[in-house]
Structure 1
Amino acid sequence: MKTSHLYLPIVAATISAIGQVMLKYAMVRVGRLHLSFGMIGHALVEPIFVCAIAIYVLALLIWMQVLSTTPLNIAYSILAVTYVLVPVFSYFAFGEQMTPGQMAGVALILVGVAFIGKL
């Protein structure tokens, strides 16, 4: 398998995970979301929220490149690495703890992604 078939999905997943952490940080600052124009307006003036959306757009553009060059069954499976990155990033960004069961799940996901990457 070409290295690019592995590289780009992992890049897209990493950028998406960073966007997810930034979005969480922004929503902590904005507060509980009540779907109203005022609350949405409040979120839109939060710089971290705007950066998170920009990062999602970047991840989408990279994902579009992935889809144009990589078999979907491989690319989408590799995208599961976000389930590993988000908990790790959350630990460092927010001090969120992981249970042993969650850590085992993360390890299983990594093993699965590694198997898919070897195909």
Structure 2
Amino acid sequence: MLNLMIWICLIISDTTAQLLLKKGTIENALTTWGPNFFILSGYSLYIFSFLLWMQILKTTPLYIALSGASIIFVTIAFGSHFFLGEPLTIKSLVGTVFVAIGVYIVGYSRKSVN
């Protein structure tokens, strides 16, 4: 249960960090090149994500950890669409579906081996 909570926190924090950095760079491009709240918050969440990632690597085989972490590509695609207004094209939808299927297959193969 704890491991599941760590995974959920990793996915949320890493996705949010990416979205905050994108938002911060958009704002900085319009004004100055100094750090702003979004960029500082994004990097702070990256530090938190790094600590969570280290905990996951302690308890999970690397091939499973990397496969599971790739679900972040899916959450970023949808997050950037809903929160930043970026287009979600058919190609990106198909790609995110393939990533999700791959994560499921790797996770399912692990369960069948145990």
Give the alignment's TM-score, normalised by structure 2: 0.84
| Residue-pair matches, total | 108
Q: Distance in 2 between matches of 1:75 and 1:31?
A: 35
Q: Give the aligned partner of residue 18 of structure 2.
A: 20
Q: Matches of 1:14 and 1:23 in 2, distance apart?
A: 14
Q: Which one has more relative contact order, counting CA pairs under 8 Å at least 6 apart?
A: 1
Query: Pairwise CA RMSD of aligned residues?
Result: 2.0
Cα distance between partner residues in 1 of 2:92 and 2:15: 17
Q: Name the amino acid aligned to 2:81.
A: Y
Using the aligned pairs only, state the percent identity.
26
Q: Which residue does 2:85 correspond to in 1?
A: 95
Map 1:23-34; keep pairs closer than 5 Å: 23-31=21-29
Q: Kindly indicate whether residue 104 of structure 2 is the aligned counterpart of residue 114 of structure 1.
A: yes
Does 2:69 match 1:82?
no
SS in 2 for 1:31: helix
- TM-score when normalising by structure 1: 0.81
Q: Once the 2 structures are TM-superposed, how far is the Cα of residue 94 of structure 1 from its aligned partner?
A: 1.4
SS in 1 for 2:86: coil
Task: Specify whether residues 3 and 77 from structure 1 end up closer, same or farther in structure 2 by C-alpha distance, changes over 3 A only.
Answer: farther
CA distance in 2, matches of 1:73, 1:80: 11
Cα separation, 2, equivalents of 1:83 and 1:66: 18
Aligned match for 1:54, one of 27, 41, 44: 44
Long gaps (5+) in structure 1: 33-37
* Uncovered stretches (5+) of structure 2, i.e. residues with no partner: none
The residue that corresponds to 2:55 in the other structure is 65
State how far apart, in whole Å, the 2-side matches of 1:31 and 1:74 are: 38
Distance 2:27 2:94 in 1: 31
Q: Distance in 2 between matches of 1:79 and 1:7?
A: 14
Give the match for residue 35 of structure 1: none
